[in-house]
Amino acid sequence: MRIDHNSYGTVAGAWLAGGIAIILLRLLVRNPWVFWPVMAVILILILWQTFFFRVPVREPAGSGSVVTAVADGRIVIKEKVFESEYLGKECIQVSIYMDFFDVHANFWPVDGTVTYYKYHPGRYFLAFKPKASEENEHASTAILADAGKEIMFKQLAGTFARRIVCYSKPGLRTAAGEQCGIIKFGSRIDMFFPPETDIKVEIGDKVRACESVIALL
């Protein structure tokens, strides 16, 4: 496991702020029954912040035709929709919701080539709400898989997420299981598949990035 390199500044800032808070606490609070519990809370928050930006080592299960989860989380949507931003056709949407304790690093879901990328500034509704897909800050990526099918995924910011990092650019080769970005704090991934795709998950399933098979193209 390592810390996401895009998050070094955030982690360093958390440790700096925590250190200053502990110094001030030590100077201002003399009661040990107050000092030690509060310091413990500060340390737990700093460690949680550091752990939040972890990038785990996984064994990729994806390929040019096997599509794996972009992120850790729980399946909250599985339905037919019309994808109007880029694909312009009916698709099967599968959405993964990440809570505060899930890994928020994102990973390429399939071997292929990026055909489309666009960042959309927006609002910050709760990520599990349906309208978040269109109105929240999000980044959209389409990939032509080596199997010849084009899929798409969106990284959606949530109420507390204010930054999306994505490595996508048209023409970039993707390898299933390699990191493709990160979303900070609570957020969601929407994945879009051709209607004939064999979807392997159901609503409520817990999935792990790189390892959980979402669909077969």
CA distance 175 to 147: 13
Residue 161 DSSP class:
-
Residue 123 DSSP class:
B
- Beta strand 206-207 with 179-183: parallel, antiparallel or unpaired? unpaired
H-type helices in 81-185, by residue range?
132-135
Strand partners, 51: none
9: amino acid identity, one letter: G
User: Do you know the residue count of the chain?
Assistant: 217
CA distance 16 to 59: 34
110 and 151 in contact (C-beta within 8 Å)? yes
Strand partners, 174: 112
User: 63: which 2 tokens?
Assistant: 């390929």
Helix (H) or strand (E) holding 17: helix 8-28
Active-site residue, selected from the candidate residues 133, 140, 168, 187 = 187
Residue 187 among the catalytic residues: yes
CA distance 95 to 67: 14
- Beta strand 150-157 with 206-207: parallel, antiparallel or unpaired? unpaired
Q: Which residues are catalytic?
A: 187
